Structure 1
Amino acid sequence: MRRAQDLPVDRPRRRVSGRGVLIALGALFMFVLIFGRAIARFYVDYLWHQSLGRGDVFWGVIWAKLTLFVLFFAIFAVVACVNLFIADRTAPSSFPANVHPYVERFHEVFGQRLRLVRYASALVVAVLVALPAVSRWQDWLLFKNAKEFDVADPQFGADVGFYVFQLPFLTFLFDWLFVAVILVLLFTAATHVLNGGVVFVSPVPAIRQATKAHIAVLLAILAVLKAGDYWLDRYKLTNSQRGIVDGATYSVVKAQIPAIMLLILIALLTAGLYLSVIKTNSWRLPLVASALWLVVSIVGGVIYPAVVQSLIVNPNQQTREQKYIERNVTATREALGLTDIEVRDVQFGTLTASEVESDLAPLGNVRLLNPTEMETRFLVDRGEVAGLTIDDLDVDRYDLDGEVEQMLVAARELELKGVTNRSWQGLHLINTRGCGLVVAPASRVQSNQRPDYRTLELERPELYFSPELSGYGIANTESTERVCDEEHRYEGDKGVRMNSVARRAAFALAFLDYNVLGSGAINDDSQMLWVRNVNDRLNKLAPFLSYDADPYPVAIDGRAVWVVDAYTTTSRYPYGESIGAVQRSPDSGLSNSDNYVRNSVKAVVDAYTGEVTFYVVDNDDPILRAWRTAFPDLFTPLTVMPDELRNHLRYPEDLFRIQTDVYSKYRIDAELFFQRDGNAWSVAQAPGSSPTSTTRTPAQTAASEAPSAAANTFATESDASRFVPYYTMFDTSRPGEEAKEEFVILRPFVPFSTGDTRTQLQAYMTASSDPETYGQLTTYVVQERNGQLPDGPLRVAGNAESQSLISERISLDNQDAGGSKVRFGDLQLVPVADGLIYVRPYYVAVPQSSGDVEQVTEFRFVIVSYNDNSVLTRTISEGLAQLFPGFEGDVGDRIGVPAEPGAGDPLEPDDQPVLPSDAAELLLLADSLFIEADDALAAGNLGLYQSKVEEGRQRVADAIAILEGSGLAADPGSDGDAGVDGGVDGGVDGGVDGGADGGDADPESQPADE
């Protein structure tokens, strides 16, 4: 029968006070504030993936992360709770009388809730230790979907796939288990103390036998886990950097690996001794074993291998390391795609005028307009409009007048910092897109020295997505968007529709921007365009790929798309040499530690809709095959890519830089490793883009580039810049075959020399970008003629600048601070018939008095070099006529007016304003006078030079007076399609900038730039 005091008591129902309501509302507000934005960001991320049709990627990543969290949480929670349960079961039946006061106080505070506190604490720690595992989702998916490389490592015989796919996750797992068991050990020890299993008395704590056994088992488990970690460490040594090359070299194989095997035995022995405590009740032997373990780990793992390296390997490296260098050379070539290179021998002889005339096609492909130098020219002529910019120029090829030509291509991207309407509507609803592409043939200029701009007819010129665009935009609102060619509403379906209050609220909270929720301009048809930066978009969708630093635009099917080279990489290819700090492109997505790189994917982003497609280029890449297993619907076969787009694929510059840098060292076999002089190569030294950097002498180079530890490294350790690869149309036919021009990327080599003193041309490598031969690497090895190699780029550039007439011209154009500056384009080597000609554009950067651009780079001349002779002329044809007397050919690098389009040609010439006939005649006459002035200067006739310049200035002034009367010379800040850019710049700059401005022209005689 229940006692009266045990019966339930009726308690009055509490009424909710206003204070309670306020507390509840405050708690709800704090919850929304803390967790609401995270939930909103999760939701809008889901909407973003769904809008692109990539919900499979979103949920695939989520499930991978959730699986890891649950798995590691469960492991720790189970192990911790089991050990806490054992500690409770082995606790003394009665609480000791002499426990520590802190223990007593702890029991007083928690009482019967002590067990609950322990288990709850274990679960909280389980959450904390499981969170780091979530970040390893990529390693987990590769572990799950591992593939074979069908290549065994030479040390342990394991497939390379084990190192790339399984070893990283196993290493993390053992490290995590080791830490987890330590935490469980601490929990267990604390529980035994609180239960009375350990009593702190002098001189040593009193520990019950059951407690000792429990702790000893946990210590034994730690020793076994460390033994397993040592076992994995052996495999990681195949990427050791202890020796002369990366990989397990002599000291690693003969000293470090045996030391690790000894440590494994000691660890297992120590584990056994800890288990013996259960019977012996003594800690002496396991503690002695632990001390021995520590000593062996220091002596055997660190000191002994270092002694072997210093006393046995270094005095006789060539013999000791030969076997391991062979492994490194083989692995590096395979990992970086250097095993299938075609090698051809070439020899350059003397040329005659008739031989040059018979082979003009290679000279017609020389690029006069350098992307880097012409960026400001394009910006001022075609992109300097409020809210639009031209940020980058790229080289591609298009069919022009029935011939495939190199073209400079630029996108007129949206630049929000230049938008004049700084309101929220102006930044997010009105200015939402860039406008169209600007192109010009790279191998020709007009007679006014300007690019021959062409218009790519795009059905949809709007660029809602581009490489430099950030933030968000909302299309199809009540506000009228910026007009490109005509008023247009976004017709894509890859944005997130704002057709509910919940969605608008989620975006407002995620972006912390109330206007998204409160604006009346947003309707149900509006679409949120988010993650508009091209590389950010790709990284968000496929973060496990690395991306090239230079997306480039392509016109296809009436719209623009961005093409981005995507790489699969790893730093775990056994014996592969890491790419290190090679001179890659700025902001390269590749890492110094990578030792395996494949350009397995071409990512394409539609600049109008934002749709993303990942085309598979390399079906044999095991890493990509693993990701295709994880995300089977994410990738598209290359066969589906439109042929029109395939014709615009480029071999990636980042990859080519790495391959040429590594190939220069690894083209030789291991037995020649220590005879680098005369066998190894170096990437050619780069002529500087300005006269001061180009004229660096070999003596200066040698003084600053003396190698450190030169006997022990392949690399040319110097501060000299290396030749930057360039794209060009190149004849890849063999002697006797019909000429075959392909779009390639090219980079030259010089013989390796200590101190970097040799500058002769030893070879050059090309990589094809044409669909039929895409990715074919070809090395052209230059053979000596009369015991000598031809001059390389640095020497040719230096010799050209040292010639008196060229040097004088540089002095005239290279003015003091605030004045014009001479700049050089790519020095291009051009095999012609049986000879070699170098061509280099000559630019002048002219200061601007208005606009956002401080200097505009103008094309002025071209330097043509053959053997030891160099000339500075306005056209390549003129230069050839001076170098080869009797030459009467025409390379076609200068045109008077834009060429007429061919039938069906998508490239149309820009409309040019019609000048009054008398002004046009005056400007043409002035241009001729300035040319005569330059010729007089070149001949050393300063009197005639001054007379011609003054006469030319007068003709320009007369033309300006006529133009001002017609009103055509107005609005200097207008777009390049009208007024001053189309007319006055085309005529006046052709004379003033082309002639007098190159010398000592009066700035007041240059109204076009004013």
Structure 2
Amino acid sequence: MSKRRLGAGLLAVLVLIFLPLVVRLWVAFLWFRETGYTGIFSRTLAVQLGVGAAFFLLTYLLLTSALTRSYRSLPGSSFMFFERFFYPWQISRVLRLVTWVLSLFVAVTMTRLNWQGILLFLNRVPFAVKDPVFGRDVAFYVFTLPLLESLYHYLSFILLLTAGAELLLLLTTDLWRAGQWEPLLARFGKYVLGLLVLILFSFQLRLFSLVYSPRGVAFGASYTDIHVTRPYYYIASLVVIIAFFFAWRALRRGDVRRFARAALAPVALSVLGFLAAALVQGLVVSPNEIALEEPYLKNNIEFTRRAFALDRVKELAHPGKAELTWADLEAEPGTVKNIRINDFRPAQTVLNQLQAFRLYYQFPEVDVDRYTLDGRLTEVFLAGRELSQEALTPQAKTWVNQLLKYTHGYGAVAAPVNETTPEGLPNLIVRNIPPQSDFPALQIKRPQIYFGRLTTRPVIVKSREKEFDYPLGEDNVEAVYEGRAGISLGGINRLLFALHQASLKLLVSGSVTGESRIILHREIFDRVSTIAPFFTWDPDPYLVIAGGRLYWIIDGYTTSDRYPYSQPITKPAWAAGINYMRNSVKATIDAYDGTTTFYLADRSDPLARAFGRAFPGLLRPLEAMPAELKPHLKYPQGFFTVQAGAYTRYHMKNTRVFYNNEDAWNIATEVFGENRQPVEPYYVIMRLPDEEKEEFILMQPFTPINKENMVGWLAARMDPGHYGELLAFRFPKDRLVYGPMQIESRIDQDPNISRELTLWGQRGSRVIRGNLLVIPLRDSVLYVEPIYIQADNPNSLPEVKRVVAAQGDRLAMAPTLEEALRQVVVGPAPTAPPPATRPTPTAPAAPDLTRQAAAAYQRLKDAARQGDWGTFGRALEELGRLLEEMGGPAAPPAAPTATPGPTAAAGGTP
């Protein structure tokens, strides 16, 4: 083979290897420039290249030094094995190539694992909290110790790699055939000396790592760790230094036996240290555990509470009175009117059945938020109507449709949590396509959703192919994108993205022009994680209507598993193993143009401040958030779940009570559907004790461990001026306050309720028990649970048919919450029901009815084509009702729809 062909082949291989990397980097740069975060891209790339270069050079020098010295020190006649394949002058080149490849592999691996840690270390911020054992700031354990451990692992790997490479090199020579073992063994003495140095280094690291010891009754350094293990590491370090000195002398003299004895001394000492710790733990500590471990248990309690911000909890007493009077209800109108009688899971089922309109529209989630409607704070369900390309028919999944045509979802629906229609369905106050609402705060002027949960594919906008906007009867309304998102496909970019997307069609399509733009990273988690991968993102983002536009808000957390003495958590799964957490970041994403902004929500968090210093311009002050978005900031359920789980034990500050688990709590349990489950934290609008007005809070009830009565509840405040405040209310220990599961048991045992639920089940319907809400009212507690009935077929809708209310020893089930309250609340009830909580919407205008009829007809045709006869029947009934409203022929009884206003029969509240 000629040198020219060899060179061409080598060039082709290099192009195949590096072209995809170059394309990815250039596309990433263009995307970061389009989003306004070029600084993040350049800073990250610079740090990664710098760290990678440092690791590469260090690894290359260490390997080259060791292998070159070994190669040159061997006699030339030793390489009989290599001489079968290479000329003598080629052997050194092969060694350099192998060294280069190994160094590159190590550099890439170490950079991937350590670049963030190095960047944080260089921008570290003190915690202003010192550990009680070594007196070091917590920042040392969070920022510095992980890097030192990484350095130790790197040096250990290099030592092992170098020794292994030299061993392989020597085994390919003829020295071992000649029986020259002592010279071969002596050559590895320097590696044993290096190992002793690493052992000394590891002892220092283990010494500091005692603050993570799991040995005692609680996480962190225990009595044995402080009084046995810590002195052992000091003594062992001294022994290793002495052993190193004797081993070095023996190696210089060629005394292999003394060298081996000196090298093995630390091993023998480690066995003694292990036995000593085990003996002290078993014979001294265990018989006197509480007396000896109490100071260290106190450290665990203090640092765990601080790590999860539980030291900020304000503890209050709640009377937990048994009787709730009508005077109490009349004193809390805002709380009572916002009692939730609908649950988000059944609501999601209803929305996907009645408001999706086309098979490719879906509501992937239902969020809870608060809006000011008619001058009062109202809790609302809100869900975005997203377009799922996966739901397109196989014939419709063409390149043009998926990339150019079906590019976005459309609009949202909203319903108050405290209202239903006469049929027991959510009362939609934002509905239909285009979205309609009688409330200015909920009117949507820019309903297109280009960025969401289901937008997992890139799309091309401003092409010659107009985009599908929304259905209108048998026709479709088309649109052209007017936002700022997307990267231009003009010039060389078109070829670049054709390579990036591996799409020849993108390169040759006549629909794509120089004005076209490609939008990447449209899925909101992918978007924020690409810009800021160092934050942990809450799995439950929520949609907001503000200023006529749709926005996503995602909560970001700074987390660590290196906070000293803090107990790691095990639940939820996405946060398992961490022992420090702060909700320090709020990210907002415009659903139309993708504008992504990050705000610093907790200035006291050293981790967030370190990231802010590492990436200037990434985190804006929370005060810079638009005024229309601030009222919709929520305390995240994810963080609250973590805090509530930790608080079940770490509300106990007395070490002896904590040790004996005397006052340990559990998350309260309930029955949802037919299954028993922990009560999920839930949002409510209520007036807290001693406060002047209602506010939006997140709460979690607790029960004692192994018991079902309620012992207290934790609340997180989030309205402006009080965001992040945590309140823990405790009930008196000498008074019975029913827990959720005890109320569930009373529902099962009530003969009237049980009989009615059983009859429904026997008539071919499924009874679904909704979430049981515990609602503190004044000095008492009210319990409310909606009861759903759903026909036993896959296309039926869950409808709220009954509401259970309980307080004290009273329990009742009725068609409405008001009727149930009249049976359980003490004292004379009002003679007439109060006004409806929401005025009935005016009748739709004729054009609106026409659009609804056309949409119902389209659903009817789609259902017939798919063989979905349940949906077909509902669409037919809805079409008949709409025609009747328009003055057409009489129709069969209308299927329930979401547009009529609420009535007292469906759950109007007093």
Q: If the length of structure 1 is used for normalisation, what is the TM-score?
A: 0.79
1:67 equivalent among 50, 72, 81: 50
Distance 1:174 1:889, change over 3 A: farther
Instruction: Write the distance in 2 (CA, Å) between the matches of 1:893 and 1:313.
Output: 68
State the match for 1:517 in structure 2. Answer: 507
State the match for 1:842 in structure 2. Answer: 787
State the match for 1:306 in structure 2. Answer: 278
Is contact 2:598-2:620 (8 Å) kept?
A: yes
Give 1:961 deviation, angstroms. Answer: 12
Instruction: Write the distance in 1 (CA, Å) between the matches of 2:237 and 2:84.
Output: 43
SS at match of 2:468: coil
Give 1:549 deviation, angstroms. Answer: 0.8
Give 1:270 deviation, angstroms. Answer: 2.9
Is contact 1:746-1:766 (8 Å) kept?
A: yes
Q: CA-atom RMSD, angstroms?
A: 3.4
SS at match of 2:695: strand
Is contact 1:898-1:909 (8 Å) kept?
A: no
Distance 1:377 1:201, change over 3 A: same
Instruction: Write the distance in 2 (CA, Å) between the matches of 1:914 and 1:525.
Output: 37
Matches within 5 A, 1:242-281: 242-281=215-254
Instruction: Write the distance in 2 (CA, Å) between the matches of 1:854 and 1:959.
Output: 20
State the match for 2:556 in structure 1. Answer: 566
Distance 1:899 1:321, change over 3 A: farther
Distance 1:256 1:898, change over 3 A: farther
State the match for 1:976 in structure 2. Answer: none
State the match for 2:678 in structure 1. Answer: 722
Distance 1:314 1:913, change over 3 A: farther
Is 1:750 the equivalent of 2:732? Answer: no
State the match for 1:776 in structure 2. Answer: 725
Counterpart residue identity of residue 729, structure 2: Y
Distance 1:225 1:909, change over 3 A: farther
SS at match of 2:129: coil
Give 1:831 deviation, angstroms. Answer: 2.9
SS at match of 1:343: strand
SS at match of 2:45: helix
Give 1:441 deviation, angstroms. Answer: 1.0
Counterpart residue identity of residue 278, structure 2: A
State the match for 1:168 in structure 2. Answer: 146
Instruction: Write the distance in 1 (CA, Å) between the matches of 2:170 and 2:328.
Output: 95
Matches within 5 A, 1:784-795: 784=733, 787-795=734-742
Give 1:823 deviation, angstroms. Answer: 1.6
SS at match of 1:67: helix
Distance 1:61 1:674, change over 3 A: closer
Matches within 5 A, 1:877-888: 877-884=818-825, 886-888=828-830
The percentage of counterpart residues that share the same residue type is 28
Instruction: Write the distance in 1 (CA, Å) between the matches of 2:96 and 2:752.
Output: 88
Instruction: Write the distance in 2 (CA, Å) between the matches of 1:81 and 1:328.
Output: 48
Give 1:847 deviation, angstroms. Answer: 4.3
| CA displacement 1:575-609 (0-9 Å, x = unmatched) | 000011x3x3xxx6x42110000000001111111
State the match for 2:380 in structure 1. Answer: 407
| Alignment gaps of 5+ in structure 2 | 431-441, 472-476, 852-877
Distance 1:34 1:542, change over 3 A: same
Is contact 1:472-1:529 (8 Å) kept?
A: yes
Give 1:34 deviation, angstroms. Answer: 4.3
Moved more, 504-513 or 336-345: 504-513
| CA displacement 1:431-484 (0-9 Å, x = unmatched) | 100101111111122333232212232221100010232111111111111124
Distance 1:475 1:376, change over 3 A: same
Distance 1:32 1:72, change over 3 A: closer
Is 1:642 the equivalent of 2:632? Answer: no
Give 1:574 deviation, angstroms. Answer: 0.4
Give 1:671 deviation, angstroms. Answer: 2.5
State the match for 1:428 in structure 2. Answer: 403
| CA displacement 1:643-697 (0-9 Å, x = unmatched) | 221100000101111111111211112423456565333222x11112x435xxx
State the match for 1:49 in structure 2. Answer: 32
Give 1:378 deviation, angstroms. Answer: 1.6
Give 1:373 deviation, angstroms. Answer: 2.2
Give 1:288 deviation, angstroms. Answer: 1.2
| CA displacement 1:462-512 (0-9 Å, x = unmatched) | 000102321111111111111249643222223111112x32222222222
State the match for 1:806 in structure 2. Answer: 753
Give 1:328 deviation, angstroms. Answer: 0.2
State the match for 1:329 in structure 2. Answer: 301
Give 1:166 deviation, angstroms. Answer: 1.0
Aligned length: 860
Give 1:173 deviation, angstroms. Answer: 0.9
Distance 1:811 1:24, change over 3 A: farther
State the match for 1:947 in structure 2. Answer: none
Is 1:693 the equivalent of 2:693? Answer: no
2:181 equivalent among 205, 212, 215: 205
Is contact 1:601-1:616 (8 Å) kept?
A: yes
Distance 1:482 1:969, change over 3 A: farther
Distance 1:791 1:200, change over 3 A: same
State the match for 1:606 in structure 2. Answer: 590
Is 1:576 the equivalent of 2:498? Answer: no
Is contact 1:553-1:560 (8 Å) kept?
A: yes
Larger CA Rg, structure 1 vs 2: 1
Is contact 1:411-1:436 (8 Å) kept?
A: yes
Matches within 5 A, 1:113-262: 113-135=90-112, 136-188=114-166, 200-202=177-179, 205-207=181-183, 212=186, 215-262=188-235
Is contact 2:698-2:716 (8 Å) kept?
A: yes
Give 1:837 deviation, angstroms. Answer: 1.7
Is 1:110 the equivalent of 2:94? Answer: no
Is contact 1:726-1:826 (8 Å) kept?
A: no
Distance 1:472 1:280, change over 3 A: same
Is contact 1:364-1:892 (8 Å) kept?
A: no
SS at match of 1:767: strand
Instruction: Write the distance in 2 (CA, Å) between the matches of 1:890 and 1:374.
Output: 30
Moved more, 30-39 or 652-661: 30-39
Give 1:809 deviation, angstroms. Answer: 1.8
Instruction: Write the distance in 1 (CA, Å) between the matches of 2:665 and 2:897.
Output: 49
Distance 1:964 1:744, change over 3 A: closer
Is contact 1:239-1:246 (8 Å) kept?
A: yes
SS at match of 2:80: helix
Counterpart residue identity of residue 693, structure 1: N
Instruction: Write the distance in 1 (CA, Å) between the matches of 2:654 and 2:54.
Output: 47
| CA displacement 1:917-956 (0-9 Å, x = unmatched) | xxxxxxxxxxxxxxxxxxxxxxxxxxxxxxxxxxxxxxx9
SS at match of 1:643: coil
Distance 1:613 1:891, change over 3 A: farther
